[in-house]
Amino acid sequence: MDTKKLKFNSKLIHSGDFKDEFGSAVTPIYQSSTFSFRDAQQGADLFAGKEKGYIYTRIGNPTIDALENKLAELENGYRGIALSSGMAAVNTVYMTFLEKGGHLLSTAAVYGPSRGVIESHYAKFGVEFSFIDTSDTSQIEKAIRSNTKLLFIETPSNPTIQITDIRKASEIAHKCGIPVVVDNTFSSPYLQKPLDLGADVSLHSLTKFINGHADIVGGALIAKDENLYNRLRKTMVYLGCNMDPHQAYMVIRGVKTLSLRIDRAQESSMKIATYLEKHPKIAWIRYPGLASYPQHELALQQMSGFGAMMSFGVKGGFEAGKNLMDNVKLATLAVSLGGVETLIQHPASMTHASLPVEARLLSGITDELVRYSVGIEDVEDLIADLEQALDCV
Ligand SMILES: *Cc1c(COP(=O)(O)O)cnc(C)c1O
């Protein structure tokens, strides 16, 4: 069956599926580091790429392949690459496209470590960088230099929930021959398909919505074409940041319910955001589904749903935010996001604490900002939890 022709929910279940000789209903775990050759000639042919097959699990493995093919079909890409973590995916992108004297252009409020590793490590090797507000595409145009090698955008961004117009950003970058990579972690393939909007590579932390059960760490890259895929795959194999077969099995299992989980979580998110927006102790709230959200129209255009991530400020600043987190009982105080359980965290003191204060504030990550990742609990319970916690603030 050509699973590429199926609709999204059918692809979640069937794309990439590996049928073994026993007719197993799900893709088995091939927990083997190496694969034997029939004879010397086959070994030679596999290495030369003349025959398709498996050599060594860092290079490729049937269980990992199944996940890679599934993810690629979900976003209409040429092929996927699964990696040990989202940061492994980020570093594979950086190592592929950046070079000494080359320039990276990226979203200021990008995932903390995606920026941190540039400033602390790549800078040592002579990589130049600008972190700008890519949600204003005219700033991208102005910041491009003759040595710009990569436009790396995260949309919606973490944790400021700002949206970058992928189509426009890609047009601007492509005019100058610059590849575009989109960190699509916050939306998942269900809500946003960056390659369809003109990007060259889509990146995911599988740890979040795609696996969705807070029980593994993983990453993925989905390339638009064969050339990009080969370049990225080669970097991954050299870096040795491959996914493990068991990890791949877990993600294959988790991703099957992606749309069911997100449907529930974003329906609840809308109700929670509407509740918080009216609450007297809330200073501001950013959720793309609210009509008051400044980029609501753009969200409607490029995403097929508003997701399950929001950020808001509690009146009373840092202390009030901290107070809220100490008083929620149902939401778990933890970093990460996109799981079946609702999570709450305070970026200024947690995920983005390593950023210099001025850079953090410039990126819109203010002291009072609280990030809330909505899970699939009953929304009445989540609202009651916020209500009692806000009463204590
Ligand atoms: C979590 C996250 C990452 C990094 O992924 P890991 O799996 O933790 O390495 C990258 N980008 C975004 C937007 C994330 O939320």
Confidence of residue 340 (pLDDT cuts 50, 70, 90): very high
The CATH number of residue 384's host domain is 3.90.1150.10
Q: d(Cα 307, Cα 209) in Å, to the nearest integer?
A: 10
With a 6 A CB cut-off, is 107 part of the ligand 1 pocket? no
Work out the average pLDDT over 329-348. Answer: 94
Q: Considering 225, 255, 285, which residue would you say is the last residue of a domain?
A: 255
Is 67 part of any domain? yes
Confidence of residue 134 (pLDDT cuts 50, 70, 90): very high
Q: Considering 255, 270, 298, which residue would you say is the last residue of a domain?
A: 255
> What domain count does the chain have?
2
The CATH number of residue 147's host domain is 3.40.640.10
The tens digit of pLDDT for each residue in 21-68 reads 999 999 999 999 999 999 999 999 999 999 999 999 999 999 999 999
pLDDT of residue 166: 98
pTM: 0.96
Residue 104: strand pairing partners: 129, 150
Q: Are residues 185 and 313 both part of a single domain?
A: no
The tens digit of pLDDT for each residue in 180-212 reads 999 999 999 999 999 999 999 999 999 999 999
CA of 113 to the centre of ligand 1 (A): 8
With a 6 A CB cut-off, is 217 part of the ligand 1 pocket? yes
Q: Are residues 25 and 95 both part of a single domain?
A: yes
**171 within 8 A of 191, measured Cβ to Cβ:** no
Closest CA to 129 of 153, 102, 166: 102
CA of 63 to the centre of ligand 1 (A): 22
Res. 359: pLDDT tops 90? no
58 is catalytic: yes
Nearest ligand 1 atom to alpha carbon 338: 15
Q: Are residues 244 and 277 both part of a single domain?
A: no
For residue 165, the enclosing domain spans: 7-255
Token pair listed for 289: 């589904």
Q: d(Cα 134, Cα 137) in Å, to the nearest integer?
A: 6
Q: Is 372 helix (H, G, I), strand (E, B) or coil?
A: strand
CA of 129 to the centre of ligand 1 (A): 20
Confidence of residue 317 (pLDDT cuts 50, 70, 90): confident
Closest CA to 286 of 272, 269, 298, 273: 273
Beta-sheet strand order (sheet of 148-154): 79-83, 219-223, 201-205, 180-183, 148-154, 103-107, 128-132
Confidence of residue 18 (pLDDT cuts 50, 70, 90): confident
Q: Are residues 201 and 328 both part of a single domain?
A: no
Is 2 part of any domain? no
Cα-only R_g, the chain: 21
The tens digit of pLDDT for each residue in 241-271 reads 999 999 999 999 999 999 999 999 999 999 9
User: Which segment of 10-24, 122-136, 167-181, 350-364 scores lowest on mean pLDDT?
Assistant: 350-364
How would DSSP label each residue in 334-370?
A: -S---SSS-EEE-TTTTTTTTS-HHHHHHTT--TTEE
Q: Are residues 150 and 225 both part of a single domain?
A: yes
- Residues 35-58 as b or e (16 or more Cβ within 10 Å = b): bebeeeeeeebbeeeeeeebeebb
Res. 240: pLDDT tops 90? yes
Is 1 part of any domain? no
Q: Are residues 19 and 43 both part of a single domain?
A: yes
Q: d(Cα 302, Cα 184) in Å, to the nearest integer?
A: 12
The H or E element that residue 221 is part of is strand 219-223
111 is catalytic: yes
Nearest ligand 1 atom to alpha carbon 186: 13
Catalytic annotation, pick one of 11, 79, 115, 208: 208
Q: Considering 238, 255, 272, which residue would you say is the last residue of a domain?
A: 255
Q: Are residues 213 and 138 both part of a single domain?
A: yes
pLDDT of residue 353: 82
Is 35 part of any domain? yes
The tens digit of pLDDT for each residue in 83-107 reads 999 999 999 999 999 999 999 999 9
Closest CA to 174 of 224, 210, 222, 208: 224
Catalytic annotation, pick one of 17, 45, 56, 58: 58
The H or E element that residue 298 is part of is helix 296-302
Catalytic annotation, pick one of 165, 183, 244, 367: 183
pLDDT of residue 20: 87
CA of 247 to the centre of ligand 1 (A): 16
pLDDT of residue 207: 98
Work out the average pLDDT over 375-385. Answer: 98
Res. 1: pLDDT tops 90? no
Q: Take atom 8 of ligand 1 and give the residue whose Cα is closest.
A: 86
183 is catalytic: yes
Q: Are residues 232 and 148 both part of a single domain?
A: yes
The H or E element that residue 113 is part of is helix 112-120
pLDDT of residue 159: 85
pLDDT of residue 205: 98
Confidence of residue 232 (pLDDT cuts 50, 70, 90): very high
With a 6 A CB cut-off, is 67 part of the ligand 1 pocket? no
Q: Are residues 30 and 152 both part of a single domain?
A: yes
